[in-house]
Structure 1
């Protein structure tokens, strides 16, 4: 299966980026693609075979879903290998470029309901929210 890739360079140390990516109290503040959505609840068991659940919801209450998966491999502050609830694979790479700059790269298998460019744009929008959130936390 083909993969899509999104990236962002974040002005923050890799330890900070890792924490904001993996801790539910941070995830709820950045994990949405547009201002009319939010992530009201997040849980994460950061261990191999541990699951994360991120409730993605329209702010107007019209729709919500559980975006979830399990960790198949974890290298602290380096990478996460994930199998999503629908069996798609995701790799998240954390690369310290300098002491204060981290490159985050997500490779993900697309689903087959939406056009590839729409999926890539959605994942990139969430990653851009993440970047903005992390950089404003420092």
Structure 2
């Protein structure tokens, strides 16, 4: 099985500056960073700068499971690009591109070995879809 990077993307009906804000600010991250309605994100700490670290807690609402998603930023180009290394060494990039439909958000990540590529792609896409819904709801307020 090929172990190259996996890419997920979405288009948010919002300007790039707002999309960046909703994606990177902890007070927003806790509202969208989970894959399904039976999970939530009770905590997020984000020091968005090169060398800065983040820690995002994802937990099952029934208390049966939780884990911290954490890493260190390697590149930060405000409103355009983020690159980081997860605590297990995997690399992730996030790119923001504004066009006539809104802002395209593309996340590319190295897969881990425990779960199938399809499961990982579906999970990360679900989180990104939650992000899109949250960001668009914020823009309508």
TM-score range, shorter chain: over 0.9
TM-score (norm 2): 0.95
Runs of 4 or more, structure 1, over 4 Å off, are none
Counterpart-to-counterpart distance in 2, 1:21 and 1:14:
10
What is the CA distance between 1:38 and its match in structure 2? 0.3
Q: What is the match of residue 70 of structure 1?
A: 72
What pairs with 1:19-98 in structure 2 (closer than 5 Å)? Answer: 19-98=21-100
Q: What is the match of residue 123 of structure 1?
A: 124
Counterpart check, 1:137 vs 2:129: no
* 3-state DSSP of counterpart to 1:128: helix
Counterpart check, 1:11 vs 2:13: yes
Counterpart-to-counterpart distance in 2, 1:84 and 1:97:
29
* 3-state DSSP of counterpart to 1:15: helix
Unaligned runs of 5+ in 1: none
TM-score (norm 1): 0.97
What is the CA distance between 1:92 and its match in structure 2? 0.2
Q: What is the match of residue 103 of structure 1?
A: 104
1:34-74 Cα distance to aligned partner (Å, 9 max, x none): 00000000000011010110001000011111101111001
What is the CA distance between 1:79 and its match in structure 2? 0.3
Unaligned runs of 5+ in 2: none
* 3-state DSSP of counterpart to 1:124: helix
TM-align CA RMSD:
0.9
* 3-state DSSP of counterpart to 1:113: coil
Aligned length: 137
